[in-house]
Chain A
Amino acid sequence: MHIQEELSQRHVLSLTVSNEAGILARIAGLFTARGYNIDSLTVADITPDHGVSRITIVTSGPPKVIDQIMAQLDRLVPVHKVTDLTESGPFVERELALVKVAGVGEDRIEALRLADVFRAKVVDTTIESFIFEITGTTDKVDNFVGLMRQIGLVEVGRTGVVGLIRGKDAI
């Protein structure tokens, strides 16, 4: 007997939650307990009184599983609202990365040239290295990091995705 796996699709979920102790453990634990995937998860409070946080989760799964994830998240007591950005119309998603690259001579110049193409900013520099700051979609960041790997990538820090629906309304 062998174990079968189902085809899955990437979804960006946006949640507003009460900013209380243990909320992140509740959400992350739900994913592990029920066997759902987390590709990335970001969280920060978004109201002046620090009472509400937005959590953005990139997950993947077949449509039925995504529907279950939404329902399961919605059922948690401190969760205010769950939106599947991928399903709710056009939306903007961004991720920020800090990318440290080391090199001298031609490599340095090539790194700067590529950074320019990707509109990455230099936020730290030494004679032998740069740290670039890049924002964009996950794909764009992946591409940039991939190119830097060929030049002299030292390390990367990524925030994970945040997203909002386009237009004037809140979700």
Chain B
Amino acid sequence: MAEKSGADILVECLLDLGVEVVFGYPGGAVLPIYDALFNHPTIKHVLVRHEQGATHMAEGYARSTGKPGVVLVTSGPGATNAVTGITDALMDSIPMVVITGQVPTQLIGTDAFQEADTVGITRHCTKHNYLVKDPAKLAGVIHEAFHIATTGRPGPVVIDIPKNVQIATAPYKRPEPVAHASYHPQTKADAAGIDAAVEMLAAAERPVFYTGGGVINSGPEASALLRELAAMTGAPVTSTLMGLGAYPATGPQWLGMLGMHGTYEANFAMNKADLIVCVGARFDDRVTGRLDAFSPGSRKVHIDIDRSSINKIIDVDVAIVADVGSALSDMVALWKARGHEAADLSAWWTQIDGWRAKKSLDYAENATEIMPQRAIADLYKACNATGKDIIITTEVGQHQMWAAQHFGFDAPNKWLTSGGLGTMGYGFPAAIGAQMGNPDSLVICVAGDASIQMNIQEMGTASQYRLPVKIFILNNEYMGMVRQWQELTYQSRYSNSYSDSLPDFVKLAEAYGWTGIRIDGPDDLESGIRAMIDTPGPVIVDCRVAKLSNCFPMIPSGAAHTEMLLDPSQVKGSMTDEAKALV
């Protein structure tokens, strides 16, 4: 059999696996792979400006297309720069394969130039990782890595390939489908769990669907099934930050997001429910608030593909270990087979309407300053009017929460945000990745003035590949979320949360060959957003918003769902040590 070099085997495998885009950055330890990719006819390589950018681009690509994101970086600093994005992908269950170069096998362990213990460093921030020391094993490992990254609970997988393994040759044949000795994620639910869940749903008086990123990960069919099951049962639906879009924001049973910055109705419904059906979410601390006060009167069903998520934080009555889509389809089928009808939930809906009447997302408008909430609401309106497919990414902070609250998502895979790790610097590269995977979509990164500077160097990448991404900065000249916590907890001592020495974002845009737009006040808001949407090519918008706005509603750390702060008048300005010690 003809032999191929390790680098050629890698490229061959990527082709066999249908990889179309690789986000990467070259260096000494990956030169053989870069040579194999030189002018490659089908695999497109996107040259980033920093390896962290590559990882978030891969995440954005993956989250918006459902395909795994692929990253290629060199050894040492290339690999260590990728660690944040790898961890982000682990926390948010994003399928990603990261190929790292390594020093040649005979130099491993000698503190060679640009040597880092990549498998050691990434062991606990990957779903799995490999160091491949034999080119004959490379093909099997690469196929296995993609299998592991994309099945079960998706996640990042690192393949560390020493330089001599990229050059050495071995016989190559396309590997057989992966039959793994120990990795067999359970995707089909046990019948008993489905049965119990369906009967509990049929009997519940105050049910709530609490959905999360698992519905998105399970694919668009899972979202369709969620909508079907929700319609059949008549139960209200809330979602975590990661699950937005699985159930439409315009749907009649939508309660809005729950949790720390969730709506009054979503959090109160969780608190007063008699049944919670958790679908692909994980009872994160941002969602539950104080644990001993979390939904005290409900029975709980938890559907999750990862058994370790079940009973980790909250004990549940029915555990369903399965792929969300598969479990929902079983539930829909059984509901129909049993001839169940939607129960009369009118009393429950009346109660919910009472909470809705609080209008917890309302805010005081301001004639002279742009309220950040208004900016998002207007952005939403303008995007809707385009009739285009819209993808929104965010950075991390108040703007992220305002985007989650005031932009409505009606479809999955259109909302990309860093939930678990909360990584500032995620949103802009994620937008580039999403635009690569969705060339015809309007991709907008809602950013903060501080976060955008974390990976702003990727403006060059967008220019190079002519990607018409838009960055919409809610510029409050603060690390607003930090400042908000200081206002709530530390009597407004704003220690190091002022964004001093901000660049002139319009000039920066021009420096990179982008279009820059400044929106100074309410009168320019609509036209500025219009101009951003209508301008071809990449655009940065510096939208000057009210500087000291806070994001409400808010459940302070350690408080219960029923102890929400709805507006600034409820802020006390200090907290107990117990509350201060919480995240």
| Cross-chain contact B311 with A67 (CB below 8 angstroms) | yes
Complex contact A33–B310 (CB within 8 A): no
Which of B128, B182, B306, B311 is close to A64, meaning CB atoms less than 8 Å apart? B311
**Residue B41 interfacial (CB < 8 Å):** no
Within 8 Å CB of B119, what residues of A?
22
Q: Report if A18-B181 is in contact (Cβ < 8 Å); known contacts: A29-B123, A77-B128, A77-B148.
A: yes
A40 proximal to B (CB < 8 A): no
The secondary-structure label for the interface of chain B is loop
Given contacts A21-B131, A64-B311, contact A77 B183 (CB under 8 A): yes
CA separation between A71 and B310, bound complex, in Å?
A: 9
| A79 close to B182 (CB less than 8 A) | yes
Q: What residues on A are CB-neighbors of B148 within 8 Å?
A: 77
Minimum Cβ distance to chain B for residue A2 (Å):
10
Bound-state Cα–Cα, A17 to B128, Å: 14
**Residue on B nearest A68 in the bound complex, by CB:** B312
Q: Does A94 reach chain B (CB closer than 8 Å)?
A: no
Whether, in the assembled complex, B561 has its beta carbon less than 8 Å from a beta carbon of chain A, the answer is: no
Q: Which residue of B lies closest to A71 (CB)?
A: B308
The answer to the question of B109 belonging to the interface, with a C-beta cut-off of 8 Å to chain A, is no
**Contact A1:B120 (CB < 8 A) given known A71-B308, A80-B182:** no
Give Cα A68–Cα B119 distance, bound, in whole angstroms. Answer: 24
A144 to B317, CA, bound (A): 46
Assess A75 versus B123: contact at CB under 8 Å? Given A1-B581, A80-B182: no
Asked if residues B308 and A22 are in contact (CB atoms below 8 Å), the reply is no
- Closest CB of chain B to A55's CB: distance in Å? 13
Min CB gap A83→B, angstroms: 14
Contact of B577 among A1, A78, A79 (CB under 8 A): A1
Among B307, B310, B315: residue with most chain A CB under 10 A: B307
Q: Is A8 positioned at the interface, with any CB of B under 8 Å from its CB?
A: no
Whether, in the assembled complex, A74 has its beta carbon less than 8 Å from a beta carbon of chain B, the answer is yes
For residue A89, give the distance in angstroms from its CB to the closest CB of chain B: 22
Instruction: Assess whether A26 is interfacial by the CB under 8 Å rule.
Output: yes
CA gap between A17 and B148 in the complex, in Å: 17
Q: For this complex, into which size category does the number of interface residues on chain B fall? A: 20 to 34
Please, which residue of chain B has its CB at the minimum distance from the CB of A79?
B182
| CB of B311 to closest CB in A, whole Å | 6
Give Cα A46 to B306, complex, Å. Answer: 29
* Complex contact A25–B308 (CB within 8 A): no
> CB of B127 within 8 A of chain A?
yes
- For the complex formed, measure the closest distance between the CB of A23 and the CB atoms of chain B, giving whole angstroms: 11
B308 touches A68 (CB 8 A): yes
A17 to B181, CA, bound (A): 10
Q: Which residues of the partner chain A approach B578 to less than 8 Å between Cβ atoms?
A: 1
How near does chain B come to A152, taking the closest CB pair, in angstroms? 42
Given A68-B308, A71-B307, A25–B182 Cβ distance below 8 Å?
Answer: no
Contact partners of B123 in chain A: CB under 8 A: 22, 25-26, 29
A154 CA / B307 CA spacing, docked (Å):
47
Closest CB in chain A relative to B487 CB, distance in Å = 22
B338: Cβ under 8 A from any A Cβ:
no
Q: Which residues of A contact B40 (CB under 8 A)?
A: none
Query: What is the CB-to-nearest-CB distance from A17 to chain B, in angstroms, rounded to a whole number?
Result: 8
**Residues B181 and A80 in contact, CB atoms below 8 Å apart:** yes
A75 and B306 form a contact (CB under 8 A): yes
Closest chain-A Cβ to B481's Cβ sits at a distance in Å of 24
Q: How far is the CA of A76 from the CA of B126 in the complex (A)?
A: 10
The residues of B that contact A75 with a CB separation of less than 8 Å are 306-308
B581 contacts A18, C-beta separation under 8 Å: no
Q: A1-B581, A77-B180, A77-B183 are in contact. List 5 more A-B contacts (CB 8 A).
A: A1-B578, A18-B181, A22-B131, A26-B123, A79-B182
17 A–B contacts, CB within 8 A, in A order: A22-B123, A22-B131, A25-B120, A29-B123, A29-B124, A64-B311, A67-B311, A68-B311, A68-B312, A71-B307, A71-B308, A71-B312, A75-B308, A77-B148, A77-B182, A79-B182, A80-B181
Which 3 A-B pairs give the minimum distances between C-beta atoms? A71-B308, A1-B577, A77-B128
